[in-house]
């Protein structure tokens, strides 16, 4: 790209902030000269541009948390159109990466944070640290895995405040609510609210898993089965012990194990039923097993092992 050289008027002293508002007059100091020592992102935007309002906060967060590696220079092209014209910009938002006084890369349109981060890292030649939302997500995921559900809920909610369209944060928040000890109705309402803003056709695997887990929770609530008590398991265990072919008892036992958080036993109960009589009740056990697979997630170690056993049962 040609180096745009706008207004040759005397240059003001350059700002050292991570984010600066740039005019035609300050462009040389704030972008061209500043890019001699760090990567400068020129964000060309306008007040009427809806996608600009989505992209700019992402750029700001990444610049602010780059430890001085990245500067964001924002230019309102309605007020200062010359640079955009010289760069032959036809639509906004438009972002250009400047290094050593030259524009070296760019993109147009409102990209998700992950893609913007990759763009920056490509032009930096190294990795950026986690954004505030990413740091909150990491903390939330650790808390969820350790059963610290209140902390997980708080961190996922804070991540969503940073990035309201982050579907992974929505999924994590829903899963944290579903894992809580609240009444089924309360958990379902909270998880539903967490997922309410997720795009209907988004195929993110974590979002799909959260939706499946919510659907299963609703199904369990509709059955009005108290599955969290030991005395709810005892009669079902006794019925299966008395008659190994009591598939209804085995099916209910699987749901009881699921409700008690004993996922491996839930999967095993359904697999045992399939091994004994796959066709029972129009393959109800296999269908329920698939629901559990979806709710637990394709990468869950228990699901991976159960899928292998299911394949062995079905194709042996």
Residues 177-225: tens digit of each pLDDT = 999 989 999 999 999 999 999 988 888 899 999 999 999 999 888 775 4
Check whether 230 has a pLDDT greater than 70.
Answer: no
Q: What does residue 173 show for φ and ψ, rounded to 5 degrees?
A: -65, -40
- Whole-angstrom distance, CA of residue 262 vs CA of residue 22: 58
**19-124 and 132-222 in the same fold:** no
Q: Where are the domains of the chain?
A: 19-124, 132-222, 230-315
Specify whether the CB–CB gap between 267 and 302 falls below 8 A. Answer: yes
The CATH code belonging to domain 19-124 is 3.40.30.10
- Hey, which residues are catalytic here? 49, 52
Q: What is residue 24's DSSP assignment?
A: T
pLDDT of residue 275: 96
Specify whether the CB–CB gap between 139 and 148 falls below 8 A. Answer: no
The residue with tokens 């809806």 is: 50
Q: Own/partner pairs for 286-293, CB < 8 Å, 24+ apart? A: 286/310, 288/251, 288/254, 288/255, 291/212, 291/215, 291/216, 291/219, 292/216, 292/254, 292/258, 292/263, 292/266, 292/267
Fold classified for 230-315: 1.25.40
pLDDT in tens, 106-129: 999 999 888 999 999 999 987 777
- The tally of CA atoms less than 13 A away on the side-chain side of residue 267 is 21
Q: Which CATH number fits domain 132-222: 3.40.50.2300, 3.40.190.10, 1.25.40.10, 3.40.50.300?
A: 1.25.40.10
pLDDT in tens, 122-153: 999 877 777 778 889 999 999 999 999 999 99
């Amino acid at each position: 790209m040609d180096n745009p050289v706008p207004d040759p008027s005397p240059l003001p002293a350059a700002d050292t902030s991570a984010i600066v508002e740039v005019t035609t007059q300050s462009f040389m100091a704030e972008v061209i000269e500043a890019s001699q020592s760090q990567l400068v992102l020129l964000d060309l935007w306008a007040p009427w541009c809806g996608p600009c309002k989505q992209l700019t906060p992402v750029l700001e967060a990444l610049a602010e948390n780059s430890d001085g590696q990245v500067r964001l220079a924002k230019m309102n092209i309605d007020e200062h159109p010359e640079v955009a014209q010289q760069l032959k910009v036809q639509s906004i938002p438009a972002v250009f990466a400047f290094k050593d006084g030259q524009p070296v890369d760019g993109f147009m349109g409102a990209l998700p944070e992950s893609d913007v981060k990759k763009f920056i890292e490509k032009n930096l030649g190294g990795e950026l640290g986690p954004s505030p939302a990413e740091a909150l997500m990491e903390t939330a995921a650790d808390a969820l895995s350790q059963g610290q559900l209140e902390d997980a809920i708080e961190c996922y909610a804070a991540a969503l405040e940073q990035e309201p369209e982050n579907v992974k944060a929505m999924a994590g928040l829903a899963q944290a609510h579903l894992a809580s000890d609240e009444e089924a109705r309360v958990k379902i309402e909270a998880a539903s609210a967490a997922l309410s803003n997720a795009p209907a056709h988004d195929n993110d695997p974590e979002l799909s898993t959260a939706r499946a887990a919510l659907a299963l929770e609703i199904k369990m609530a509709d059955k009005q089965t108290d599955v969290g008590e030991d005395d709810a398991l005892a009669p079902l265990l006794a019925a299966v012990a008395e008659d190994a072919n009591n598939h209804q008892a085995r099916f209910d036992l699987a749901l009881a194990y699921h409700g008690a958080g004993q996922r491996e036993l839930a999967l095993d109960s359904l697999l045992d039923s399939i091994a004994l009589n796959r066709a029972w009740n129009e393959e109800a056990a296999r269908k329920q097993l698939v629901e559990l697979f979806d709710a637990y997630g394709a990468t869950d170690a228990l699901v991976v092992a159960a899928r292998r056993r299911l394949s062995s049962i079905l194709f042996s």
